[in-house]
Amino acid sequence: MSALSNPFEFLDFFQCLNFANVIGEYSVILKPKQVLCLEAVYRGKDLLAVLPTGYGKSLIFHLIPSLLAEKKRRSGLSAQKTVVIVVFPLNSLIHDQLQKINRIRTRAAVLTAGEQGLDLSLVDETRLKNADYEFVFTHPETCLSSREGVSLFQSHSYQSFVSAVIVDEAHCILEWLVRFLNYLQTSDFNCMLHVNLLKFC
């Protein structure tokens, strides 16, 4: 059941959702729980989504930048960007998502870190530092252990434009999940304090 009691707010949400669906060239009929998840994001709520395999969890966060950008535009904030950080445990999952999102234009980047620091070989460094990608896919280690990664996410651009943090395949990452989620709530990662936190299992 929808939590949007104001009929005008309810209408605005569905108009923003329709815009996101069309502009992303998905044009799909969304399932009820996908709509409820996106409504929670629209309302600025944290979310835990436990959905079956094949339900379409990825589509939920694929629509978030356009959904929130349209909400901002309707509020007179059209110049503001919307960035979503997606934390994945496995490289294969990240590359699969990149192919889907970047099929028309480059909207997403992958950020990983190793012994030599951040690996920027697959990104436009200027776009990354300016928060010009709608999606930044990364690993928990990049957020937890990489000084450069933490510095990037604490920069003014990311503090200003990150709208949501997605932790996907959360059931695969029990070893670091508690530490990572606690870390998101500390001042050391303060750009994440006032954004939607979504966990998908």
- Taking residues 139-160, what's their average pLDDT? 82
* Percentage above 70 pLDDT, the chain: 78
- Sorted by where each begins, the domain ranges of the chain are 7-200
Q: How confident is the model at residue 201 (pLDDT cuts 50, 70, 90)?
A: low
Each residue's pLDDT tens digit, 176-192: 556 666 655 554 444 44
Q: Give the single-character DSSP code of 6.
A: S
Q: What's the per-residue H, E or C state across 120-156?
A: CCCCCHHHHHCCCCCEEEECHHHHHCCHHHHHHHCCH
Spell out the alpha helix ranges (H) of the chain.
Answer: 7-23, 32-42, 57-74, 91-101, 125-129, 140-144, 147-153, 156-161, 174-184
- Taking residues 59-85, what's their average pLDDT? 85
Contacts of 41 (CB under 8 A, 6+ apart): 47, 64, 67, 68, 164, 196, 198
For the cut 50, the answer to whether the pLDDT of residue 56 exceeds it is: yes
- Taking residues 100-114, what's their average pLDDT? 82
CA distances from 193 to 6, 165, 177, 180 (A): 27, 10, 17, 13
Q: How confident is the model at residue 174 (pLDDT cuts 50, 70, 90)?
A: low
The pLDDT value recorded for residue 172 is 62
For the cut 80, the answer to whether the pLDDT of residue 38 exceeds it is: yes
**What is the C-alpha separation between 197 and 61, in angstroms, rounded?**
11
The pLDDT value recorded for residue 149 is 82
Question: 7-200 has which CATH code?
Answer: 3.40.50.300
Each residue's pLDDT tens digit, 126-139: 999 999 999 999 88
Kindly report the length of the chain.
201
For the cut 70, the answer to whether the pLDDT of residue 193 exceeds it is: no
Beta sheet of 108-114, edge-to-edge order = 47-49, 196-200, 162-167, 83-87, 135-138, 108-114, 117-119
For the cut 50, the answer to whether the pLDDT of residue 23 exceeds it is: yes
Closest CA to 34 of 20, 95, 23: 20
For the cut 90, the answer to whether the pLDDT of residue 170 exceeds it is: no
In this structure, are residues 137 and 94 in contact, taking their beta carbons and an 8 Å threshold?
A: yes
